[in-house]
Structure 1
Amino acid sequence: MRVKPLRRHGMTVLVSLIPVSYASAVTEQDFLARNTQELINLCTAPADDPLRVAAVHFCTGYLVGAYHYHESIYSGPGSQPLVCPPNPKPTRQQAITNFVSWAKAHPEYNQDRPVDAMFRYMIEKWPCQR
């Protein structure tokens, strides 16, 4: 990050030049969740963003819903789940925070569908013993 001094009316003001992907506010387009970056934007909405409450709830609902669907599909006898979380499972917030950190560390998946990135993360983190 570069910091550049700016002089106005005899005062020095510091202006931060932050990449747009981390500084931008949530947009209504992010709620389409077409790719991982849009979902991460929702999950990390700044505290002062007017859409923060809706964004964080959408993020949580999306991720929990996708995981519950996985649990439902692989709940029958003889099923082989894609992921096997530890017992006890991490809290919902821990799991979301860890996924967001992983996604930020793997920008190569920013344009993938969020559910694909989520399961890529979980398979890497909690693989099942076969």
Structure 2
Amino acid sequence: MRVKRLIIKGMVLLATLLPMSYASAVMEEDFLVRNAEDLIDLCTTPRDDPLNVAAVHFCTGYLVGAYHYHDSLYSGPDSQPLVCPPDPKPTRQQAISEFVSWAQAHPEYGNERPVDVMFRFMAEKWPCKKTARPSD
């Protein structure tokens, strides 16, 4: 009787874990980054996934590249950036982790462009103080 209970508990545990591991496995088409959901899949690839290293590095490169572009675009003295992280800035991993958590809590943005969702998160998390523009 005790063995039967252990087998049943094991089967229930396995049945609950299998769908999670299958659902979180990254697929090659996720690298097309068609939407935010694809990017989050890459960022959260399980360590034992054969594509883990490529996926995590792609995620990091995508997010860092988009942020660097923003910094470059708004580097002038009269620019008004979209986002203003605190000083000191969070580490790269902290920022990515916060973005992933936020995106997972907002599945309604899953089909939007990843860069748009990233900046939606950052504008909410680190908004800039609005300054009045001088009159021309």
Given that 2:81 and 2:128 are in contact with CA atoms closer than 8 Å, whether structure 1 keeps it comes out as yes
CA displacement at 1:20 relative to structure 2? 6.2
Q: Secondary structure of 2:16's partner? A: strand
Query: 1:1-130 maps to which residues of 2 (within 5 A)?
Result: 11-12=7-8, 13-14=11-12, 15-16=15-16, 23-130=23-130
**Could you state the TM-score of these two structures normalised by the residue count of structure 1?**
0.87
Ranges in structure 1 where 5+ consecutive residues have no aligned partner: 1-6
Q: 1:3 matched to which residue of 2? A: none
Q: Name the CA distance, whole Å, in 1 between partners of 2:129 and 2:22.
A: 37
The total of aligned residue pairs comes to 122
Higher helix proportion (structure 1 or 2): 2
Point out the structure with max Rg over C-alpha. Answer: 2
Distance 1:18 1:121, change over 3 A: farther
C-alpha displacement of 1:11:
3.5
CA distance 1:21–1:63, shift in 2 (3 Å):
farther
What is the root-mean-square deviation of aligned Cα atoms in Å?
2.0
Unpaired runs of at least 5, structure 2: 131-136
- Aligned-pair identity (%): 71
